[in-house]
Amino acid sequence: MARILIIEDNPENMQLMVYLLTAFGHTVLETTAGEIGLTLASTEAPELILCDLHMPGMDGYEVAQRLKLDLKLAAIPLVAVTAYAMVGDREKVLATGFNGYISKPINPESFVGEIEMFLSSKARSKLKD
Ligand code: MN
């Protein structure tokens, strides 16, 4: 089981992601604000961070830049969750420091499996215990 931080300002998306991840036994920390997400990342040591790109205030790109500047936090796998599917967005997401990309709308049948692929091998081996 993994501790997963979700930074997402859309309540329906948040609710669905929390529901699916907790149904599979993961522990979820949630916030709607990038600034709070950065604080939770450093105080709660999640094993994975899911982050929306478009949020009021600090957007997902800035969250990613700040996480990757912090040596302690840079190693946490970081996955963008976004409806944006325009040409070039994937490249921008990866160039900003995200380890990957999940498209909205979230597919309930594949979401947890896709997310678990981003967990570190250490976290994955814990899943098998
Ligand atoms: Mn949003």
- Domains, the chain, ordered by start: 3-123 (3.40.50.2300)
**Ligand 1 centroid distance, CA of 125 (Å):** 32
Q: Which letter, b or e, does each residue of 3-25 get, where b requires 16 or more Cβ atoms within 10 Å of its Cβ?
A: ebbbbbbbeebbebbbebbeeee
Per-residue pLDDT at 87 exceeds 80: no
Per cent of the chain over pLDDT 70 is 89
**Ligand 1 centroid distance, CA of 122 (Å):** 30
**Ligand 1 centroid distance, CA of 78 (Å):** 16
Residue 98 contacts residue 78 (beta carbons within 8 Å): yes
Label residue 91 by pLDDT band (50, 70, 90). confident
On average, the pLDDT of the chain sits at 91
Residue 20 contacts residue 30 (beta carbons within 8 Å): no
Q: CA 126, CA 88: separation in Å to the nearest integer? A: 35
**Ligand 1 centroid distance, CA of 1 (Å):** 27
**Ligand 1 centroid distance, CA of 75 (Å):** 24
The token duo for 129 is 């215990």
pLDDT single digits (tens) 30-78: 999 999 999 999 999 999 999 999 999 999 999 999 999 999 999 999 9
Contacts of 121 (CB under 8 A, 6+ apart): none
**Ligand 1 centroid distance, CA of 31 (Å):** 12
Per-residue pLDDT at 129 exceeds 80: no
The protein residues having their C-beta less than 5 angstroms from ligand 1 (an ion) are 9-10, 52, 54-55
Residue 48 contacts residue 2 (beta carbons within 8 Å): yes
Residue 46 contacts residue 67 (beta carbons within 8 Å): no
Location of structure tokens 């699916």: 20
**Ligand 1 centroid distance, CA of 129 (Å):** 35
**Ligand 1 centroid distance, CA of 108 (Å):** 19
